Chains A and B, each alone.
Chain A
Amino acid sequence: MNGWTALDRFLRTDPRDVGCAEAMELLHVYAELAAAGAPAAERYPGIAAHLAACGPCGEDFDGLLAAVRSPAE
């Protein structure tokens, strides 16, 4: 991959991206769907787009998913 392609990838934004506020608002719903193996990304494409593009929200999603999957008390 040449440098301009890498730059293009970095600058490219997804119009479906809902932003942090909406993704964080629904993160518990999204994570529970994902944990259950339901098609969370199909149901909430704007959140899926955001989690793919936003490092911190993606990290929070991974963390919540791990928490939901962790054995109970």
Chain B
Amino acid sequence: MAPADPTADGISPAPRFDPDSDQWVRVLSGSGPQREAALARLHGLLLRIASGELQRRGGQFRITGPELDDLAYQAAADALLAIVVKLSQFRGESKFTTWAYKFVIFEVSAKIGRHFWNNPAVRMDAEDWERLPDRLGLDPARETERRELAGEVRRAVDEHLTPRQRQVFVAIVLNGVPMDALVTELGSSRNAIYKTMFDARSKLRDVLAAKGYLNVQTSRHS
């Protein structure tokens, strides 16, 4: 996009977004009743997106009725706050509303992650290795293979993962704890948990391949 010409006195005009986005940013950066009205309108949009997203993801949790409405309301309110704080970071790479919706989607994910722990039956550190074959989706009919594979994975986990990698592997793979729920529990970030799991997967693959269990030479379509 060609930059607008600087004015004669050398002052560049404010960055230009598409007219709608420009309007949002201008009014939200301002003050008075216009800003209040824009905040109310944005909150309404965010609430609609939060409700729609919770509905779309309805199969992933057991939340219904007023609790669901409450969660949507909280997600919209927290997203609105984040948007106001980060307004100066909007660079017009997308429509303002797309950028804003991103925050409410993230809030919905975080709230679902936190809600996971409302079920007291779930533990993140239980070590029931018998579950491993099922958690990896192995065929119950292939009993020998299941036992051998689970045993090798467990040994590789014990001998080669760091304590943190092991903790994350056990929580996610053995106990089926969703990543966002683990983020809350460990006070970490999604990026850090993903990286820990990424490195753990990579290390386990190297170890098992070195032992000849994984045919790494095999092409992707084998």
How far apart sit A3 and B138, CA to CA, in the bound complex (Å)?
6
Q: How many of chain B's residues have a CB under 8 angstroms from any CB in A?
A: 49
Closest to A62 in B: B56
Q: How many of chain A's residues have a CB under 8 angstroms from any CB in B?
A: 35
Q: Which residues of the partner chain B approach A54 to less than 8 Å between Cβ atoms?
A: 179, 194
Q: Within the complex, what minimum Cβ distance (angstroms) separates B150 from chain A?
A: 9
How far apart sit A13 and B196, CA to CA, in the bound complex (Å)?
12
How far apart sit A73 and B190, CA to CA, in the bound complex (Å)?
32
Docked-complex contact A63 and B194, CB < 8 angstroms: no
Q: What 1/0 mask marks residues of chain A from 1 to 40 whose CB sits below 8 Å from any chain B CB?
A: 0111111101111000101110010011101100000000
The answer, yes or no, to whether B205 is at the interface (CB within 8 Å) is yes
Q: Which residues of the partner chain A approach B98 to less than 8 Å between Cβ atoms?
A: 28, 31-32, 64, 67-68
Tell me whether A56 and B180 are in contact in the complex, defined as CB-CB below 8 angstroms, given that A3-B139, A7-B153, A11-B208 are known contacts.
yes
> For residues 54 through 111 of chain B, which have their beta carbon under 8 Å from a beta carbon of chain A?
56-57, 93-95, 98-99, 101-102, 104-106, 108-109
Docked-complex contact A64 and B180, CB < 8 angstroms: no
Tell me whether A4 and B214 are in contact in the complex, defined as CB-CB below 8 angstroms, given that A12-B201, A57-B190, A64-B98 are known contacts.
yes
Docked-complex contact A28 and B93, CB < 8 angstroms: yes
Closest to B202 in A: A13
How far apart sit A17 and B149, CA to CA, in the bound complex (Å)?
27
How far apart sit A62 and B198, CA to CA, in the bound complex (Å)?
22
Interface of B is mostly: helix
> For residues 96 through 152 of chain B, which have their beta carbon under 8 Å from a beta carbon of chain A?
98-99, 101-102, 104-106, 108-109, 133, 136-139, 142, 145-146, 149
Q: Within the complex, what minimum Cβ distance (angstroms) separates B151 from chain A?
A: 12
Q: Within the complex, what minimum Cβ distance (angstroms) separates B82 from chain A?
A: 12
Would you mind naming 20 contact pairs between A and B with Cβ atoms under 8 Å apart?
Answer: A2-B145, A3-B133, A4-B214, A8-B214, A8-B216, A10-B136, A11-B204, A12-B201, A19-B191, A19-B194, A21-B191, A24-B102, A24-B190, A28-B102, A32-B94, A56-B179, A57-B190, A63-B53, A64-B102, A67-B53
**Could you list which residues of chain B lie within 8 angstroms of chain A, going by C-beta atoms?**
44-45, 48-49, 52-53, 56-57, 93-95, 98-99, 101-102, 104-106, 108-109, 133, 136-139, 142, 145-146, 149, 153, 178-180, 189-191, 194-195, 198, 201-202, 204-205, 208, 213-216, 222
